[in-house]
Amino acid sequence: MADAVLFFSSNADTMIATKALKDAGVASKMIPKPAHLTAKSNLCISIDAALESAAVAAIAAANVALGGVAK
């Protein structure tokens, strides 16, 4: 399983996105920001990379701005 890390501009956005992913049935895990990422938030979301498109769609539907995806 290859992981993708979704990052956001705030911890609040990360928490809202986590709930949106749960509601959409996308398995995810909130994690501390990896050291190699440049992001304003110190929390990120880890998902299976195969679920990236479903995750991005669920986050967009929740009106949360995605800062980016790292693989």
pLDDT digits (tens, 9 = 90+) for 42-56: 999 999 999 999 999
Instruction: Round the average pLDDT of the chain to a whole number and report it.
Output: 92
pLDDT level of residue 38 (50, 70, 90 thresholds): confident
Contacts of 52-59 spanning 24+ positions with Cβ under 8 A: 52/4, 54/24, 54/26, 55/4, 55/6, 55/21, 55/24, 55/26, 55/28, 57/24, 58/20, 58/21, 58/23, 58/24, 58/26, 59/6, 59/17, 59/20, 59/21
CATH code, domain with 51: 3.30.70
Domain that holds residue 15: 3-70
State the pTM of this model: 0.89
How many domains, the chain? 1
DSSP structure class, residue 7: E
